[in-house]
Structure 1
C-alpha cells in the first residue's frame, strides 16, 4: 500500500482535475487555446465535462458584464458542433437576456433544459416576473414550478417594517 491517494486513479480522472484547475486559473488571453486542448483530449466525454464546468463558472461571473457577449461568441466558435456544449452556451446567453431584461421568447424558456429552467428559477434569481410566471405555470418539473411560484410570491409580498 502506498501513501499516494491517487495511485490507482485512472489517468483521465487525473487529467480532469488538472484541466479544471488550469481552466480556473487561465488568463483571458490563453483561454481559447486551453479550451481547445481540453476538447481535443482522447476522452471526449471527460474533455467536454471539464469545459462545461468552465463555462458554468465563467458564464456565471460574466453574466451581466458587457464582456459576456464577445466571450460567448468566441467560445461558441471553439465549441463548434458539440451538441451539449452548444446548447449550454445558448442557454447561458438566454439567461443573460432574461437577467438584463433583453428580448427572449416563451418558447425559448419553456423548451429549455431542466438545468436551464432550474437555474433561471432557483439559482439565478431571475428578476423577470414574466419569466418566473411562465416557469411557475409551464416549468418542466414540479421543483421548477414550485420554486418559480415561491419567488413570485416573495417578490410581491411587501417587506415588513423593522420593529
Structure 2
C-alpha cells in the first residue's frame, strides 16, 4: 500500500490498521485509488474497513464536487468498481452522485431527494443552491433541522436569485462568468424542477 514499506505487515490492532488506512488513502494518487481501496476492503474487519473507505469517499467527493471537470465522475467510476457488492458504500456513492447532479444543474427526481438518507439531506441543505431542491426539503426533509436549514437557505438563495438582481447582473456583472451565471439562473427560474440548463 502507498506510504507503507512493502515488507511491513498490517498492524494486528484494528485501530492501528484504521489509522494506517486513513493515512494511506489521504496521500494516494488517482491511479492508485482502485488498488488501495480494494486492499482496504480485504481487511477481515469489514466494519472498520468500510468506515475507512467511506471517510475517504466523503473527503474525495466533497473536494471534487464543485469542480467543472470530469474528476468527480472518474473518481465515482473507480469507486463503483470496488464497492459494488457493499450496500452502504454503494448508497453513499449514489448519494454523492445525486448531489453532484443537483450541484451541476443536472437531472434529479424528487423521490430520490425525499427518500435519501438523513446524511444526504443534511449535506444537500448545506451545499445546494437549487431553489426547487431547497423548497422540497423545506416541506419534506426527514428531520426538523434539515427542514429549518432548507427553509433558511431557500430564502437566502431566492434573495440572491431574485429576477431583478439576476437581470441586473446579466448586463452589468464585472466578469463574463458572473454575467453568464446570472443569465443561466434567470432562465432556470421558469423551468420545472430537475431540468438541466440548455
Shorter-chain TM band: 0.7 to 0.9
Q: Is 2:104 the counterpart of 1:100?
A: yes
Q: How many Å separate the matches in 2 of 1:70 and 1:23?
A: 16
Q: For structure 1, which runs of at least 5 residues remain unmatched after alignment?
A: 1-9, 159-163
Q: How many Å separate the matches in 1 of 2:33 and 2:132?
A: 35
For residue 75 of structure 1, the aligned residue among 67, 74, 79 is 79
Partner SS state of residue 98, structure 2: helix
In the alignment of these two chains, the number of paired residues is 148
Q: Is 2:92 the counterpart of 1:91?
A: no
Q: Larger Cα Rg: Structure 1 or Structure 2?
A: 2
Q: Is 2:105 the counterpart of 1:120?
A: no
Q: What is the deviation of 1:133?
A: 0.4
Q: What is the deviation of 1:136?
A: 0.4
Partner SS state of residue 44, structure 2: coil
Q: Is 2:43 the counterpart of 1:35?
A: no
Q: Alpha carbon RMSD of aligned pairs, Å?
A: 1.5
Output the TM-score relative to the length of structure 1: 0.87
Q: For structure 2, which runs of at least 5 residues remain unmatched after alignment?
A: 1-11, 161-198
- Paired residues of 2:33 and 2:78 also in contact (CA < 8 A): no
Q: Deviations over 1:5-26 (max 9, x none)?
A: xxxxx71001001101110001
- 1:152 — aligned with what? 154
Q: How many Å separate the matches in 1 of 2:158 and 2:92?
A: 31
Q: What is the deviation of 1:64?
A: 3.1
Output the TM-score relative to the length of structure 2: 0.72
Q: What is the deviation of 1:156?
A: 2.7
